[in-house]
Structure 1
Amino acid sequence: MSYTVLKFIHISSVILSYLLFLTRGIWMIHSSAQLQQRWVKIMPHVIDTVLLTSAITLTVLIQQYPLADAWLTAKVAGLLLYIGLGITAFRFGKTYPIKVGAWIMAQIVFFYIVLVALTKNPAIFL
C-alpha cells in the first residue's frame, strides 16, 4: 500500500473518530437515548482499530518510532491521556460535571495530538 493511501486512511479515520466522539459527547450532555444504540457502541472500536493499525503501519513505513522520535512519543502519550479521559467521560465518571469535564479535556488533548502531528513538534505551546 502506498504512503499516500495509508496517510489518507489514517487522516480519514482520525476525522471520523473525532466526529463520533464529539457527537457522543453532545448526546451525553443531552442525555440522549441515541447513546444506547448498538452501532454507537460498536463503531468507535471499528474506527479506532483502523486508526491504530494505520498509525502503526505509518510508523514502520516512515521508520520513525515512539521513544526514538519525540513528536511520536508525544502523540502516543497524548493518545493514552485522550483514551483515559474518554473512558472517564463515557463510562467511569461518577457525576455529570466529571463526565463533561473529561469530555472537554479529551478534546483539548485531541487537538494537541493533531497539532503535534502537523508540526512534528511536541512543544507546540512553548
Structure 2
Amino acid sequence: MSYLALKHLHVSCVIFSGLGFCLRGWWMLTGSPWLQHRLARVLPHIVDTLLLGSALAMAWLSGQYPFVNGWLTAKLCGLVAYVLLGSMALKRGKTLASRRRFFLLAVLAYAYIVSVALARNPWPWL
C-alpha cells in the first residue's frame, strides 16, 4: 500500500474515530441504550485498530518515529491521554458529573492530537 493511500486511510479513521467517540459520549450523557449496542462496542475497536496500524505503517515508511521526532512524541502522549480520559468518560467514571468532565478533557486531547498532526509541532498554538 502506498504512503498516500495509508495517509488517506489514517485521516479517514481519525475522522470516524472522533465522530464515533462524540456520538458515544452523547449517548452516555443522555443515558441512551444505544451505547450498549453491540455495534457501538465493536466498531470503535475496528476503526482504532486501522488507525493505529496505518500510523505505524506511515511511521515506518517515512522513517519518522516517536521519541525521535518531537511532534510524533507529542501525538503519542496525547493519544495515551485521550485513551485514558475516554475510558473514564465512557466506562470508568463513577458519577455523571465526572464522566462529563472526562469527556470534555478527552475531546480536548483529541483536538490537541489533530492540531499537532496538522502543524507537525508539539506546540501547535505557538
Asked if TM exceeds 0.5, the reply is yes
TM range (shorter): over 0.9
Q: What does residue range 22-101 of structure 1 map to in structure 2 within 5 Å?
A: 22-101=22-101
CA distance in 2, matches of 1:92, 1:34: 18
Partner AA of 1:65 in structure 2: Y
Partner AA of 1:72 in structure 2: L
Find runs of 4+ consecutive structure 1 residues off by over 6 angstroms.
none
CA distance in 2, matches of 1:124, 1:8: 22
Partner of 1:115: 115
Query: How many pairs are equivalent?
Result: 126
Partner AA of 1:54 in structure 2: S
Normalised by the length of structure 2, the TM-score is 0.98
Report percent identity of matched pairs: 44
CA distance in 2, matches of 1:75, 1:28: 26
Partner AA of 1:80 in structure 2: V
Q: CA RMSD in A?
A: 0.7
For residues 17-69 of structure 1, the C-alpha deviation after alignment (integer angstroms, 9 at most, x for no partner) is: 01100000011111001011001000110100000000000000110000000
For residues 77-106 of structure 1, the C-alpha deviation after alignment (integer angstroms, 9 at most, x for no partner) is: 000000000010011101101101111111
Normalised by the length of structure 1, the TM-score is 0.98
Partner AA of 2:71 in structure 1: W
User: Structure 1: any 5+ residue segments left out of the alignment?
Assistant: none
Q: Secondary structure at the match of 2:116?
A: helix
CA distance in 2, matches of 1:4, 1:63: 15
Partner AA of 1:64 in structure 2: Q
